[in-house]
Structure 1
Amino acid sequence: MFLMDLELDEHTRGNTQKKNALFLSLAYFLSVIGDGVRTIVLPLIVLDITNSTYFMGLIFSIETIVFIVCGMFSGAIADRMNKKYLLIGSDISRAILVLSIIPIGSGYPQFFKIWVLIVAVLMSFAETFFRPAFFALVPEIVDEKDIDRFNSLLTTLSKGGDIIGFSLGGVLYNTLKINALLVDGLSFLASAAIIGTIAVTQKPMVGSNRNILKDLKEGMVFIGTNGFIRSILYYGLLMNFFSAPIMITMPALAKVLFPEKSGYVYGLMKIGSSAGVIIAGILLLSLKKINRKTLFVLGITGEGVAMLLLGSLQPISGQYELILLILIAMNFILGVSVAILNIPITSWLQIYTPQEMRGKVKMINDVILSVPIAVSPPLFGYVLEKINIFTLLIFMGAMMTIIGFSAYFNMVEPEKG
């Protein structure tokens, strides 16, 4: 009778985990689609009303500053709160903020600038709580043996949602203009409702009555004293410094190779990259066992090789179709590489960080890794004005390849499970 009850309990627990994982991934997918719509619609609306690209850039700068300032503290706070309710609260608050833009932009354009800046600050603030809470909740509803495949699923859903959201955003902007933001607001509300159905018991947090600064210090000490986590951060800093300039080199490369059709070509390059992420995610989902270090090394070197090959391209008269095909193929490889690189990093942080510290460690990691992303694009953009773009791509590719080989010989995953 005991064994029968045990089997029933295990069966029930397994079904609950599957339902939780399904609902969490569905909520994430809907939220990503809404974000994709806003990514297309909001900049166009801002330009329609303000006619200022500087103001558009100011919005992104403010969002980044809020993330850096609040990120570390939000992770520590997320570890001390009920993650499910924190996700719901974040979704509902972002829905209200996005929807509030519609009446202001439609009826009170004189207040639009200041209100969009306020919304940007508050949206970024809510996002800094959503991210660590979501990150820390995953290991509580997914078994460790399945965590790599679940993270791969989330990556695939993210890029698939991006493509759907970008496509919807373009269509809805042409027909609904500012009212297209309704889709983003409703996606947040749908996500909150779905997360509300997840059955998860909040585990007691160790030291939950302690000072936040002390809690944050504990997270930083953990990173500083954990050699493996520290090595992930070290390689992440190097990778981000040499790979982040892709955001400026890719459109510049499209302009050099296809000056008359750069927008069209750059769009195809982005589609190729997103397709690579999706295909890699699907392939990883089919694997029952994943060697994280192998994925990590292949991801870094894959980016390096793709950059080296892009750097070897030169404008060839009459060979435009071939060059376009190579551009798309290399961006596809970049997408695959990014996907298989992010999976082990996310899984390692979730597995080797204590449950009560995951949120703050995640946000400390993200904030630190955002520094080279903020520094290297303008730095490489300045260099790009002085040297040939192909030379710069070869340099970036060579450095990424060297980093990959270094990781292969130096990184050792601790024994666990």
Structure 2
Amino acid sequence: MEGFLKLKQESIFQNKSFMLLLMGQIVSNLGNAVHSVAVSWFIMNTVGKELSGTYMGIFGACVLIPYIICGPLSGVYVDRISRKKIIVGTDLIRGSLIVLLGGLVYLNIYPMISLFTITFLSALFGSFFNPAVDASIPNIVAEKDLTQANSLNGMSRQLTWIIGGAISGFLYYKLGIIGIFLVNGISFILSGISETFIKLPHVKKESNESSSFWSDFKGGVKYVKNQKTLMRVMVFSLVLNFIYSPIFQIVFPKTLKFTLDMGAREYGILQSLFPVGAMLGMVALSSFKVLQDNHRVVKLAILIQSIFFIGFGIPIISTMLDHLGNSNVYILYCILAVLLMICNAFINIPFFTALQKKVPDEYRGRFFGLLNTLSQGIVPIGLGFYGFISDLVLPSVIFIGSGIVALLMGVWIIGTTDFKEIL
């Protein structure tokens, strides 16, 4: 494939460029995980109970909006200029911004405005970083190692969020919010420094170098529209994002609190099991070649994932709940959470790897920029929809109904004539 480095027959762990990129992301993602949890406590301690919800909503919007607005545009730059410069530059800039935030909060210079402004700017540069990384991995990893590389990359993200979430409370009380900002900022800077040693080729594009930004942007959109296979995958992904993310952000915690009468401790334990399940799935994909590039495994995982999702609704039907009891349903939820995310890994990693292979290098940045934007943009719509119906409809009905929709979408994507071609 064009754009690959001439790689020796070596283990992916001997691929210095990939390992530098991976380690850089682990350092910065760990700082980010600690940062995200600590900011919530900082906001609540600063503005109090009455306004904390509003301010946390504004913080969330500052994280999300730049990805929605700039995602497709950032992909154009990823395809036009050096991806290595984007990766290194955005990490260094984000690190400097967050260190600056620590200084502004320390000096008590409009701490909330400073937080929102720098969060927005940091997310803006992050919208360039992610498509650049996604588009670059196929350039530094041999095609046979792509599935393993994506599995390791995904595992690192899940692991850092588990560890970051676990230690954030301790670090917040030991270092304070200013210390957290400094740790996060320095982690980005260290990540950027390590990424300067990555050997990433600047691939010559087939498009006219003198072409305008907007013509490149429209060319990327036209390419995606003309690829029926890619369009099907995007529709499938968007529908699942519309269903899964909002349900586990809104319906799931309400079910635990009001239906199962569980507290924050039980909710935290259950939340930590989702990334554990994802990691187990990624470890299996990374370790066993028989699971890689196997469309039958993906097909089975798509169907089983939907069935597990329906399984969250059946035990909380009133008659079933009375028979099983709250504690037993909670244990069942813990098991389902792990199994669901194992299946999710068996779907996401092969699809993501297939897209990296299928999309030509000259369009890859624009494609992943567009995909990231649509994936992020569909979530607020889903949050509004499920937030509304969760106050009107029983959670058992929501889980079962949404699971059936996911199952039908799975049957549709599996039944397409080019399902094998996708993978």
Aligned residue in 2 for 1:5: none
Contact 1:349 1:362 in 2 (8 A): no
SS of the equivalent of 1:205 reads coil
SS of the equivalent of 1:218 reads helix
| Distance (whole Å) between structure 1 residues aligned to residue 14 and residue 361 of structure 2 | 18
TM superposition shift of 1:365: 1.6
Aligned residue in 2 for 1:364: 370
Paired residues for 1:172-183 under 5 Å: 172-178=171-177, 179-183=179-183
Letter in 1 for 2:272: I
Aligned residue in 2 for 1:69: 69
Aligned residue in 2 for 1:37: 34
Contact 2:13 2:19 in 1 (8 A): no
SS of the equivalent of 2:205 reads coil
Structure 1 residues 14 and 153, CA, compared in 2 at 3 Å: closer, same or farther? Answer: closer
Aligned residue in 2 for 1:48: 45
Aligned residue in 2 for 1:410: 416
Aligned residue in 2 for 1:130: 129
| Distance (whole Å) between structure 1 residues aligned to residue 19 and residue 324 of structure 2 | 50
Aligned residue in 1 for 2:94: 94
Contact 2:232 2:413 in 1 (8 A): no
Contact 1:296 1:344 in 2 (8 A): yes
Aligned residue in 2 for 1:313: 315
Picking from 304, 319, 331, the partner of 1:302 is 304
Q: Deviations over 1:197-218 (max 9, x none)?
A: 1122212233232111110111
SS of the equivalent of 1:245 reads helix
Aligned residue in 2 for 1:104: 104
Aligned residue in 2 for 1:333: 339
Q: % of aligned pairs identical?
A: 22
Structure 1 residues 28 and 298, CA, compared in 2 at 3 Å: closer, same or farther? Answer: farther
| Distance (whole Å) between structure 2 residues aligned to residue 47 and residue 114 of structure 1 | 15
Q: 2:154 matched to 1:155? A: yes
Picking from 401, 406, 416, the partner of 1:400 is 406
TM superposition shift of 1:317: 7.7
| Distance (whole Å) between structure 1 residues aligned to residue 126 and residue 417 of structure 2 | 32
Return 5+ residue gaps in structure 1 as ranges: 1-8
TM superposition shift of 1:368: 2.1
| Distance (whole Å) between structure 2 residues aligned to residue 11 and residue 387 of structure 1 | 57
Letter in 2 for 1:25: L
SS of the equivalent of 2:238 reads helix
Structure 1 residues 11 and 257, CA, compared in 2 at 3 Å: closer, same or farther? Answer: same
Aligned residue in 2 for 1:6: none
Letter in 1 for 2:171: L
Q: 2:139 matched to 1:140? A: yes
Q: Deviations over 1:253-288 (max 9, x none)?
A: 1112442x3211211111111110010011001122
| Distance (whole Å) between structure 2 residues aligned to residue 21 and residue 271 of structure 1 | 27
Structure 1 residues 411 and 55, CA, compared in 2 at 3 Å: closer, same or farther? Answer: farther
Aligned residue in 2 for 1:164: 163
Picking from 241, 254, 257, the partner of 2:256 is 254
Picking from 391, 397, 419, the partner of 1:391 is 397
Contact 1:301 1:401 in 2 (8 A): yes
| Distance (whole Å) between structure 2 residues aligned to residue 215 and residue 382 of structure 1 | 39
Contact 2:315 2:324 in 1 (8 A): no
Contact 1:298 1:341 in 2 (8 A): no
Contact 2:24 2:192 in 1 (8 A): yes
Structure 1 residues 14 and 159, CA, compared in 2 at 3 Å: closer, same or farther? Answer: closer
Aligned residue in 2 for 1:26: 23
| Distance (whole Å) between structure 2 residues aligned to residue 416 and residue 275 of structure 1 | 28
SS of the equivalent of 1:244 reads helix
SS of the equivalent of 2:197 reads coil
Q: 2:378 matched to 1:375? A: no
| Distance (whole Å) between structure 2 residues aligned to residue 118 and residue 146 of structure 1 | 40
Contact 1:269 1:328 in 2 (8 A): yes
TM superposition shift of 1:62: 3.0
TM superposition shift of 1:362: 0.6
Letter in 2 for 1:223: V
Aligned residue in 2 for 1:284: 285
| Distance (whole Å) between structure 1 residues aligned to residue 336 and residue 23 of structure 2 | 30
Contact 2:74 2:366 in 1 (8 A): yes
Letter in 2 for 1:409: G
Contact 2:229 2:418 in 1 (8 A): yes
Contact 2:12 2:149 in 1 (8 A): no
SS of the equivalent of 2:288 reads coil
Aligned residue in 2 for 1:212: 213
Contact 1:41 1:181 in 2 (8 A): no
| Distance (whole Å) between structure 2 residues aligned to residue 239 and residue 229 of structure 1 | 16
The size of the alignment, in residue pairs, is 407
Structure 1 residues 135 and 11, CA, compared in 2 at 3 Å: closer, same or farther? Answer: closer
Structure 1 residues 99 and 316, CA, compared in 2 at 3 Å: closer, same or farther? Answer: farther
SS of the equivalent of 1:199 reads coil
Contact 2:313 2:400 in 1 (8 A): yes
Letter in 1 for 2:253: P
Contact 1:50 1:113 in 2 (8 A): no
| Distance (whole Å) between structure 2 residues aligned to residue 365 and residue 416 of structure 1 | 16
Q: 2:249 matched to 1:243? A: no
Aligned residue in 1 for 2:3: none
Q: Deviations over 1:101-160 (max 9, x none)?
A: 222222215x11221121122111100110111011100001111101110111111101
Aligned residue in 1 for 2:351: 345
TM superposition shift of 1:226: 0.9
Aligned residue in 2 for 1:226: 227
Bigger shift: 377-386 or 318-327?
A: 318-327
